């Protein structure tokens, strides 16, 4: 794994830790934001390993779908995770009177933790 990918993967792992802290302290909406960014940053770690990056979130996610999901490198559930996290994050960050439950926050946290771990395992196997 190159140093840039390692750096981004470290950021993703930090965001998972922050998500857990937020949930434990009742900050469910903000935890959903951090769960999304944990996943998004893990995807950017994958791109860094290939020396690729994009400015738009949609381009990063599209590349992940095309190069990692359709290629069978990652299970399709991980694409579902990023899609759900993106929608939840947008609702929580930009919509008025949106409330996030502990259950929703926990689900997003679990997905983010699983996603980051899967990317870590993959990148550790890249030669």
For the full predicted model, state whether its pTM sits above 0.75.
yes
pLDDT, tens only, 32-70: 999 999 999 999 999 999 999 999 999 999 999 999 999
CA distance between the termini of the chain: 7
User: Across residues 66-87, what is the average pLDDT?
Assistant: 95
- Whether residue 13 is predicted with pLDDT greater than 80 in this model: the reply is yes
As a dihedral over the C-alpha atoms of residue 77, residue 116, residue 84, residue 28, rounded to 10 degrees, the angle is: 140
Domains delineated in the chain? 3-125 (1.20.120.330)
Residue 127 pLDDT class (50, 70, 90 cuts):
low
Residue 94 pLDDT class (50, 70, 90 cuts):
confident
Q: Which two tokens stand for residue 19?
A: 């998500």
Of 28, 10, 5, give the one whose Cα is nearest residue 101: 28
Among 36-50, 65-79, 89-103, which stretch is predicted with the lowest mean pLDDT?
A: 89-103
Give the contacts of 82 (CB within 8 A, at least 6 positions apart).
39, 40, 43, 61, 64, 115
Q: What is the pLDDT of residue 4?
A: 95
User: Across residues 6-22, what is the average pLDDT?
Assistant: 97
Rounded Cα distance, 110 and 120, in Å = 15
Q: Which two tokens stand for residue 62?
A: 């599209």
């Amino acid at each position: 794994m190159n140093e840039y990918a390692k750096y981004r993967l470290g950021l993703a792992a930090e965001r998972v830790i922050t998500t857990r802290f937020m949930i434990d302290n009742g900050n469910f909406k903000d935890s959903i934001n951090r769960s999304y960014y944990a996943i998004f940053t893990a995807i950017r770690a994958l791109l860094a390993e290939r020396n690729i990056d994009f400015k738009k979130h949609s381009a990063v996610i599209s590349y992940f779908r095309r190069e990692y999901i359709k290629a069978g490198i990652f299970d399709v559930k991980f694409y579902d995770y990023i899609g759900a996290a993106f929608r939840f994050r947008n609702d929580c960050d930009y919509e008025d009177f949106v409330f996030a439950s502990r259950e929703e926050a926990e689900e997003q946290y679990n997905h983010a933790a699983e996603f980051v771990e899967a990317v870590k395992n993959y990148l550790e196997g890249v030669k």
